[in-house]
Structure 1
């Protein structure tokens, strides 16, 4: 028996009724989502603490506040985003109306991951609701505390004829994707992304894939090692390194490595104390499976900083590895933990070559006192996002799109980008039913005079607003 059929049928019927299309309904859904975040702040903080050992402040900073801002932005701009977009036309259509209408796709599914289980579930949900879709949300079964809150509490704040949360692991997710949706939004690994895309291909379903990868961080010889170390350590060890856009490895010269390791040790001690395990600002690994995977990576290269682990607490210390070979597992897979390998390169050109011979990353970072060096890295590489002398603070900006390229994903979201992702851009032409004399030049037979006139009107540009 299919556990999803009745739910999906209910949502399809709701969308077919036109219920989700009016701006008033969309705004009501968004306000409900906002109330959910406000009323259940403590409950969500407790769930995130249970899942990832996040402090209340870390939960607010990296998840709850950003979701609240996204809801507020959508409510403030909903009517503007929904307006028809008038477009330029040629003389042949001077008396016609040409515009782009933003229509909801229909029934969409959002499959979210465990590392930021609130933020990465609700941010795309804001866009899907604002665009007028019916939504199935599939939270990660790995972040169990947050999954429970999203499944049991969130539906109480939304119209359950148009929204549902479904649960399960990989088997259930595969079964869910056997159904035809009008759009799939998936956040996770490239490996699973390929499975999702293969499932989508069976029904020609459009997809957004927010994937990960190995995010390089180039550190130039011309830099202040302590400033670099402070910024890299903040973004590498935030959420215990379980961030898809975190710096995944450092490329630098042997001379910079020596100074940088000392500076990283200073930064780690400053941030997390002599015993990082007792710091309230250092998270824990999500589960036993990922803990064992990460502990295995500690055997790569040589541990220069950290390396301690405690299985009972799923704790791995902020770690720096040196003498790492690119063939080792720590350089072959996305780390997703508080481990930072350093590889040596002799020059900026060698670093660029190293990056460009690998899959395009979700994020790329470059640190240098020379703007020319930073700009050369920006211009000579491709990545989903780029940070010059900084980390992933751009994620706090709804004005910036989040998305990968190539192996790190396809599509984008955040703010209006989310609304556009979940909206079909429908090209529309409305012409008068009369005035047939003006249309006669379009009809055969095509005399020399007609050909010349048609060619001239097509090449011309008329007023956008007519």
Structure 2
């Protein structure tokens, strides 16, 4: 725990004062008690329930996202995480006894989790409640205080997060810092004991650099281009259904959404037809009229995603409406590695389908690129799936589905390389906000002389046996 220090005669800003108050509150030891942690988690769950309607309404204002999806992809997962944490927290916080080596006997050894201290959580806009409050659950469970910075991009949702936190916790324990990038910059200039960031790689690098100034441990939940391999033995009835759901939910604004598809050129026609039929089945002939299809969050992101659509390659969709920030579910074919849509994470309802003629070459092309946050393989068999998953590095992978691994609290969520550093969810979230102390308890006697001079030959022979 490191106290905030300012140069002489420099007045504290409001944020600096709150960080200082949180440092004092953490040092009081209040947040470390198991009973206290459980009480705060129960209080948070109760408040989420009370704010549930406001959350759904806020997300609808920001994205035109249906209430069902907000519960399915955000609120329900928060309830699940809190319940799982409450059931297991006593075990996670207990001392874990480990073996003691022969040279140190008689002694006892154990590992003890302790909170880092004052944490900074910077949330993302695409799932504004889940990706902001989920790490907060882990921070509270581990015994930390927290400054929470929701993304300003989803305006109404950010306000709802602030309302929830302000009405639930005292600011010396958990505080919500609203504002634009200037607020984030001021926060990153301060000294924290832990930083947890969810967002894109470009901003992730800025966060990482700022953390390095104070040697602050970080977790970076980033993104990237997550591929989906559609193999010849895939189930051609259910595969398009799962792909359309995973790609176009929240209008494609999902960090683990399948970013592009790889399919053998022989199978491309039936995959494309299946995708088109499934889009029409879910959203009708005009998805703009569908109550289940969201909108792009703001004009800047709308313009960016729109520019990724190559009109000469539109297989279906392609319609846009700037006034309503609407981009139709769009399938591009045939996509190539040189296309604009393949140069960055799409983060929108545009799905490139890339045909390949050689399976091994397709794997090699993915291998050349930054490691993705997620990987999907659609296949009934084991051999090809195993080859893909053994040769490629990724954060998480699923066979024959998309996105649903996020709901498994027993699996860590996190990337590798450009897609992130560290992970969270369940016990892994508790670990992300904890430091593990190694402790050895030795009696005051006996005390053999082997480690003390003079260093004799018989001592060296004995030492070789003991170590």
Sort the TM-score into its range (normalised by shorter chain).
over 0.9
Which of 319-328 and 208-217 deviates more? Answer: 319-328
Calculate the TM-score normalised by the size of structure 2: 0.95
Runs of 4+ in 1 over 6 A off after TM superposition: none
Distance 1:445 1:120 in 2: 60
The answer to whether 1:334 aligns with 2:334 is no
Q: 1:300 to 1:419 in 2, by over 3 A?
A: farther
Task: String of CA shifts for 1:256-287, please: whole Å, max 9, x gaps.
Answer: 11111111011111111122122221111111
Contact preservation (8 Å) 1:226, 1:260: no
Find 2:78's aligned residue among 67, 70, 79: 67
Alignment correspondent of 2:108: 97
Alignment correspondent of 2:459: 450
Find 1:228's aligned residue among 229, 239, 251: 239
SS in 1 for 2:147: strand
Contact preservation (8 Å) 1:211, 1:408: yes
Find 2:253's aligned residue among 230, 239, 242: 242
Q: How far has the Cα of 1:300 moved from its partner?
A: 5.9
Contact preservation (8 Å) 2:204, 2:222: yes
Contact preservation (8 Å) 1:300, 1:330: no
Which of 114-123 and 438-447 deviates more? Answer: 438-447
Q: How far has the Cα of 1:152 moved from its partner?
A: 2.2
**Structure ranking higher on relative contact order (CA contacts 8 Å, 6+ apart):** 1
Contact preservation (8 Å) 1:385, 1:402: yes
Alignment correspondent of 1:205: 216
The answer to whether 1:362 aligns with 2:385 is no
Contact preservation (8 Å) 1:301, 1:323: no
Distance 2:343 2:237 in 1: 28
Find 1:440's aligned residue among 439, 449, 467: 449
Contact preservation (8 Å) 1:225, 1:256: no
Alignment correspondent of 2:296: 285
Distance 2:371 2:235 in 1: 28
Find 2:60's aligned residue among 49, 55, 58: 49
Alignment correspondent of 1:192: 203
Contact preservation (8 Å) 2:115, 2:143: yes
Distance 2:463 2:216 in 1: 38
Contact preservation (8 Å) 1:322, 1:341: yes
Q: Structure 1: which 5+ runs fail to align?
A: 459-466
The answer to whether 1:426 aligns with 2:421 is no
Q: How far has the Cα of 1:301 moved from its partner?
A: 5.1
RMSD: 1.3
Distance 1:92 1:253 in 2: 60
Calculate the TM-score normalised by the size of structure 1: 0.95
Contact preservation (8 Å) 1:226, 1:264: no
Alignment correspondent of 1:403: 414
Contact preservation (8 Å) 1:29, 1:159: no
SS in 1 for 2:439: strand
Distance 1:291 1:317 in 2: 11
Alignment correspondent of 1:141: 152
Q: How far has the Cα of 1:107 moved from its partner?
A: 0.6
Alignment correspondent of 2:7: none
